[in-house]
Amino acid sequence: MAPTPSSSSSKSNHPHVLKTPQSKHRINFSSTRTPNPNPSPNPNYTIKEIPQDHPVEVISRIRDYPERKEKPTSILQVNPENNTLRVRADIGYRDFSFDGVSFSEEEDLDSFYKKFVESRINGVKLGAKCTIMMYGPTGSGKSHTMFGCSKQPGIVYRSLKGILGEGEEGREGGEGEKRQLGTFVQVTVLEIYNEEIYDLLSTNGGGGIGIGWPKSGSGYKVRLEVMGKKAKNATFISGNEAGKISKEIQKVEKRRIIKSTLCNERSSRSHCMIILDVPTVGGRLMLVDMAGSENIDQAGQSGFEAKMQTAKINQGNIALKRVVESIANGDSHVPFRDSKLTMLLQDSFEDDKSKILMILCASPDPKEIHKTICTLEYGAKAKCIVRGPHTPIKDKLGAEDSSVGILGSRIAAMDQFIYKLQMENKLREKERNDAHKQLRKKEEEVAVLRALIEEKGSQASEEEINLKVNERTEILKLQLEKKLEECQRMAEEFVEMERRRMEEKILQQQQEVEMLRRRLQEIEFELCCSRDENGPRDIDGCSFARRLLGVYADEDPGMVKSMDLDMGDQEAFVRDVRFVSTSADQSSIIGTQSLSSYPHVSTLNQVVDHGDKVCLSTVFEEEEVEEEEEHKNKVEDEEVEKEVIEVTRVVDVSSPGINFVAGSLISSPLKLEALKDGSEDRHSVSGPLNEFEIVKDRHSDSGPVNEYENVKDRHSVSGPANEYENVKDSASSRRLRIQNIFTLCGNNRELCQQFRTPIPAKRRVADTDPQTSPIMTVGKDSTQKISNKGNSPLQKNVPVIECGKNLSDMMALASKENYNPSVKITDSQIEVHVKWEASKGNSGKFITTLKVLKDATLADLRKLIEIYLAADNQAFTFLVLGDPTGAPVPKEKESTVQVIKLPICNYQSHGYLACLRPAKETQDSNHLPSTPIPLTPLENKLPLTPMPCLSHKVSDLSPKLAAHLNSTPFTTLQRH
Ligand SMILES: Nc1ncnc2c1ncn2[C@@H]1O[C@H](COP(=O)(O)OP(=O)(O)OP(=O)(O)O)[C@@H](O)[C@H]1O
């Protein structure tokens, strides 16, 4: 048998690769064609190089799906040599080696035939025997390849043409050249269905022969019996014209039993065998189109008959598998007779001159991968078949050598197989060891987990839980108690520590108090000594010392000593300021800002009320004035009740306005009396011209009227003049003070009398102590009546203040209550008419008339004018109008210019004219601001006022007392 090109090429170029899992099929493999990676364990086995009869060639044909627009991704790949087919899957791939691989997409039937079949057909023409089997699952294209389609004829028709040649019927001559002369063929067409052989060419279907036979399109089919290895009495057609025979075959092809299944619309339910004998050469071609190898479920067959049918089909396929395996295994018995198909194919396997070409039809569709792999495995097995000793056709001469070679091949294959098994065994053993290790590891983990579970299970017992909870509770309880004890101990320690600290502090304070008491006693002692030395001037020294003692006793050690007005810590504020206009019968409340613009203020009371505010008040008082003996003036019997319209100015002592008043008065010297209410202290600085009270009320909630009811004490600092030191006893000095006050108030005094509002008796200060208490009670929105018997000089319209070098002289002049300067002018006195210079802002208004000594200077006159203009807060300079230049007198030269240098007043009968030019700067260090600036503490302000007399007084004290007083704000005050 002529070898096929593919087989010859495969033998020479493509060694077989063991791919099938069933290694037993490889025992017949030729060692020469399979490289042995491992030398044979048995070196005694030497493979003899003998030509191996490889009767089965396997070719894979992969169908196409031209009708599909979207073709599935192929799972099949072929190597460049077209002999290895790789099936790719998700988990890997698998290679199958064949004698050839053809993709119908690339190679149509014509190409396929020429490439793989034509050579076989040529052999048949020469007398060879060849069997071409179509094997594969249903729908894989077996029938398509065998019989073809309308466009392309299949292998059957091409083979006929190949054997008989091409040529038209009836044509002679030239066509004979193409046609094989003398060659004819006998064609038998059999169908194996349900393990029965039917003669498809028999036309006796209409007779009784065909009874019970399966029907075809043209009638019943003739069933044949198998006799030997052939169908007995099979009908055949003979001829030398391929066309006629092909037509006949086409007819009987339609008689095949087909059925529509899920896998194939025209599924062949039978095996079809076309046998072409070439009698002239003894050649024979068997073309076998096997039924699809599918399982019943896949075919979707239902019913007993259909299942039996599928089972019968599979029976032929299974039998063929067994035959192939038996032949490949070299079994002594090949089960050809298991099926009609294998019975008819027995010669094909056993005849040495017979060759088998198995065409594996497969689908590239991933859905068919399982069937594709099974088909390829089956083909791989078939490819391993070698012609065994059981082959009936033996060459007697070469039988011995042949059997030796076959045995050697089998031994080599078995060695290889054993080695492979050993390798696989080692691999499996390693895998098993690894698995065993993993298993041990898992078992250990399980054991640990189990132990944990058991432990937890044991812990989970209720008693143990309760026990542990109780233990934990006890521990926590102990810890809590311990913490509580610790906290308690710490608290006690803290309390004890604080107590000790407080005790120490109290002790320290007591010591300090004791020290201060002792110091005060010393001071008192020194004060008494000083009083003894200085006479009655210090009669109040003891009380002053007591006062100091009280002050220090009340104060905390280390505190800054104050004027005992207790106002240093108070915020400065102005609550109410009232002025009473002299030109109206009704009081009008005027803002503080307008103070300077109302020069005719009759009374000016500055009262500080509310809380701890200190009140400064100027007081007009009218009291019953008795005619004093020493002056023997007229007795004023007429009791005059005068109302004092209070101008209440609620200020803080920090107000510079108050300080200004105080400072000015002190420097004048006036008398400033400071009164402290809450502490039952009152300090006053009194001068000959006015009297100011500084009142501190610590209980001001009830209103200013009641704020001064409990005044018990009073301290005053007197001016430098000794004749005013004892105010209490000196009626003249009191009178002088009153006169000065009235003088300052000027003509407005009368208006004050118009307000006659009775005041409670208790507020009549004059009643309580008319001699010593020129202090009035003041309050917001209240008036005070002070009775005054006798004629009041306040009714005089022209207030005159005498001024001279010595203020005492002036005071003496003013000592008379009914002093009228316009009437009584001595020779040593002159009158000075004061007026403003006419200017844009000033109309040259007349101010007042003052009476001064002849030798008085402008500086003396300035003091009086400044006092008069205190409310106006208007700075000025003197103009010497008589001077040709008319230039103002510099302030520093005022002390050198006498008043008599002033020009004579033309519009007065006598006197001089003092013309004042308002200074541009209305506020300087000597003047009050027009606005009530918050007052600074008096004690801080007083030292700023030079009081040489006081300094002198202090210096007259003992060194200790002087040092002490110098270090305190009281140094500016002197108690009367
Ligand atoms: N290579 C191909 N190219 C084009 N069409 C094909 C090809 N192979 C098969 N077919 C078509 O597929 C359908 C089924 O093919 P076919 O009948 O040959 O399968 P089968 O293997 O014979 O199935 P069964 O075993 O069930 O008879 C047909 O209609 C056929 O024309």
Q: Yes or no: say if 623 and 710 are a contact pair by the CB < 8 Å rule.
A: no
Q: Which pTM was predicted?
A: 0.41
Q: What is the DSSP letter of 70?
A: S
Q: Which residue has the higher pLDDT, 421 or 32?
A: 421
pLDDT of residue 274: 92
Q: Yes or no: say if 835 and 844 are a contact pair by the CB < 8 Å rule.
A: yes
User: Where in the sequence is the domain holding 12, given as residue range(s)?
Assistant: 5-166+183-401
Joined together, the tokens standing for residue 610 give: 């509310």
Q: Which of 65, 144, 294, 298 to mutate to test the pocket of ligand 1 (most atoms within 8 A of CB)?
A: 144
The rounded distance, in Å, linking the Cα atoms of 871 and 853 is 25
Using the predicted structure, report yes or no on whether residue 196 has a pLDDT greater than 60: yes
The residue out of 368, 386, 401 marking a domain boundary is 401
Annotated binding site for ATP: 136-143
Using the predicted structure, report yes or no on whether residue 7 has a pLDDT greater than 60: no
Going by alpha carbons, the residue nearest to atom 16 of ligand 1 is: 141
The rounded distance, in Å, linking the Cα atoms of 763 and 696 is 17
Using the predicted structure, report yes or no on whether residue 371 has a pLDDT greater than 50: yes
The predicted-structure confidence for 551-584, as pLDDT tens digits, reads as follows: 444 444 444 333 333 343 443 333 333 333 333 3
pLDDT of residue 883: 57
Residue 497 covered by a domain: no
Q: Yes or no: say if 685 and 662 are a contact pair by the CB < 8 Å rule.
A: yes
Least confident of 135-149, 285-299, 461-475, 734-748: 734-748
pLDDT of residue 716: 40
> Cα of 268 to ligand 1 centre, how many Å?
10
Q: Work out the mean pLDDT of the chain and round it to a whole number.
A: 64
The predicted-structure confidence for 37-47, as pLDDT tens digits, reads as follows: 344 444 443 43
Residue 535 φ then ψ, to 5° = 80, -150
Using the predicted structure, report yes or no on whether residue 17 has a pLDDT greater than 70: no
Residue 203 maps to which CATH number?
3.40.850.10
Going by alpha carbons, the residue nearest to atom 1 of ligand 1 is: 63
The rounded distance, in Å, linking the Cα atoms of 554 and 546 is 12
Question: Smallest Cα–Cα separation from 821: which of 880, 742, 730?
Answer: 742
AA letter at 470: N
Using the predicted structure, report yes or no on whether residue 61 has a pLDDT greater than 90: yes
The residue out of 379, 401, 423 marking a domain boundary is 401
- What's the domain count of the chain? 2
Going by alpha carbons, the residue nearest to atom 3 of ligand 1 is: 64
Minimum-distance ligand 1 atom for the alpha carbon of 264: 26
Minimum-distance ligand 1 atom for the alpha carbon of 146: 18
> Cα of 143 to ligand 1 centre, how many Å?
6
End-to-end CA distance of the chain: 167
Q: Could you give the angle at the alpha carbon of 23 between the alpha carbons of 22 and 28, nearest 5°? A: 120
Joined together, the tokens standing for residue 115 give: 């490439």
Q: Which residue has the higher pLDDT, 71 or 177?
A: 71
Task: Locate all alpha helices (DSSP H) within 15-165, ordered by sequence.
Answer: 109-112, 118-125, 142-147, 155-164
The rounded distance, in Å, linking the Cα atoms of 163 and 277 is 10
Using the predicted structure, report yes or no on whether residue 250 has a pLDDT greater than 60: yes
Contacts of residue 794, defined as CB under 8 A and 6 or more positions apart, other chains included, come to 622, 642, 742, 745, 749, 750, 752
Least confident of 25-29, 352-356, 365-369, 484-488: 25-29
Q: In Å, what is the CA distance from 927 to each residue of 612, 826, 944, 945?
A: 28, 32, 14, 13
The predicted-structure confidence for 440-486, as pLDDT tens digits, reads as follows: 999 999 999 988 888 777 666 778 788 889 999 999 999 999 999 99
Residue 534 covered by a domain: no
Q: What percent of the chain has pLDDT over 90?
A: 10
Going by alpha carbons, the residue nearest to atom 30 of ligand 1 is: 144
The residue out of 369, 401, 433 marking a domain boundary is 401
The rounded distance, in Å, linking the Cα atoms of 661 and 654 is 12
| Preceding peptide of 15 cis, ω within 30° | no
Q: Residue 274: helix, strand or coil by DSSP?
A: strand
Residue 572 covered by a domain: yes
Structure-token match 């501190």, residue found: 696
The rounded distance, in Å, linking the Cα atoms of 283 and 277 is 6
Q: Residue 507: helix, strand or coil by DSSP?
A: helix
Minimum-distance ligand 1 atom for the alpha carbon of 258: 27
Minimum-distance ligand 1 atom for the alpha carbon of 109: 1
Mean pLDDT of 920-929: 45
Minimum-distance ligand 1 atom for the alpha carbon of 63: 1
Minimum-distance ligand 1 atom for the alpha carbon of 144: 18
Ligand 1 residue neighbourhood (C-beta within 6 Å): 63-64, 66, 104, 136, 138-144, 149, 264, 266-268, 291-292, 361
Q: Which residue has the higher pLDDT, 933 or 408?
A: 408
Contacts of residue 206, defined as CB under 8 A and 6 or more positions apart, other chains included, come to 219, 220
pLDDT of residue 929: 40
Q: Which of 68, 264, 270 to mutate to test the pocket of ligand 1 (most atoms within 8 A of CB)?
A: 264
> Cα of 317 to ligand 1 centre, how many Å?
18
The full DSSP string for 640-698 is: EEEEEE---B---TTEHHHHHHHHHHHHTT-EEEEEESTTS--EEEE-SS-EEEEEE-S
Going by alpha carbons, the residue nearest to atom 10 of ligand 1 is: 141
Using the predicted structure, report yes or no on whether residue 854 has a pLDDT greater than 70: yes
> Cα of 361 to ligand 1 centre, how many Å?
9
Q: Yes or no: say if 285 and 336 are a contact pair by the CB < 8 Å rule.
A: no
Residue 503 covered by a domain: no
> Cα of 139 to ligand 1 centre, how many Å?
5
Q: Which residue has the higher pLDDT, 220 or 957?
A: 220
How many Å is the Cα radius of gyration of the chain? 76
What is the Cβ-side half-sphere exposure of residue 155, based on CA atoms within 13 angstroms? 32
Mean pLDDT of 274-298: 80
DSSP bridge pairs for 93: 88
Residue 953 covered by a domain: no
The full DSSP string for 508-556 is: HHHHHHHHHHHHHHHHHHHHHHHHHHHGGGGTTHHHHHHHHHHHHHHSP
**Banded model confidence at residue 271, pLDDT cuts 50, 70, 90:** confident
Mean pLDDT of 751-779: 38
pLDDT of residue 867: 80
Residue 513 covered by a domain: no
Going by alpha carbons, the residue nearest to atom 14 of ligand 1 is: 139
Q: Which residue has the higher pLDDT, 791 or 453?
A: 453
Joined together, the tokens standing for residue 91 give: 């988990």
Q: Could you give the angle at the alpha carbon of 152 between the alpha carbons of 146 and 153, nearest 5°? A: 45
Using the predicted structure, report yes or no on whether residue 738 has a pLDDT greater than 50: yes
Residue 651 covered by a domain: yes
The predicted-structure confidence for 200-217, as pLDDT tens digits, reads as follows: 887 765 433 333 344 444
> Cα of 290 to ligand 1 centre, how many Å?
12
Joined together, the tokens standing for residue 337 give: 């007779």
Going by alpha carbons, the residue nearest to atom 9 of ligand 1 is: 141
Q: Which of 62, 63, 108, 116 to mutate to test the pocket of ligand 1 (most atoms within 8 A of CB)?
A: 63
Residue 193 φ then ψ, to 5° = -135, 130
pLDDT of residue 31: 35
Question: Smallest Cα–Cα separation from 358: which of 117, 693, 104?
Answer: 117
Annotated binding site: 136-143
**Banded model confidence at residue 398, pLDDT cuts 50, 70, 90:** low
**Banded model confidence at residue 492, pLDDT cuts 50, 70, 90:** very high
Joined together, the tokens standing for residue 848 give: 């007042």
The rounded distance, in Å, linking the Cα atoms of 858 and 897 is 6
pLDDT of residue 548: 52
Least confident of 507-511, 544-548, 612-616: 612-616
Using the predicted structure, report yes or no on whether residue 539 has a pLDDT greater than 70: no
Mean pLDDT of 304-330: 74
- b/e map of 415-434 (b: 16 or more CB within 10 Å)? bbbbbeeeeeeeeeeeeeee
Mean pLDDT of 958-964: 46
Contacts of residue 219, defined as CB under 8 A and 6 or more positions apart, other chains included, come to 203, 205, 206, 210
The rounded distance, in Å, linking the Cα atoms of 873 and 532 is 43
> Cα of 308 to ligand 1 centre, how many Å?
23
**Banded model confidence at residue 219, pLDDT cuts 50, 70, 90:** low
pLDDT of residue 347: 85
Minimum-distance ligand 1 atom for the alpha carbon of 293: 25
- Report ipTM for this prediction: 0.97
The rounded distance, in Å, linking the Cα atoms of 142 and 180 is 29
Q: Yes or no: say if 214 and 311 are a contact pair by the CB < 8 Å rule.
A: no
> Cα of 660 to ligand 1 centre, how many Å?
133
Going by alpha carbons, the residue nearest to atom 31 of ligand 1 is: 144
Going by alpha carbons, the residue nearest to atom 8 of ligand 1 is: 141
Residue 462 covered by a domain: no
pLDDT of residue 498: 92
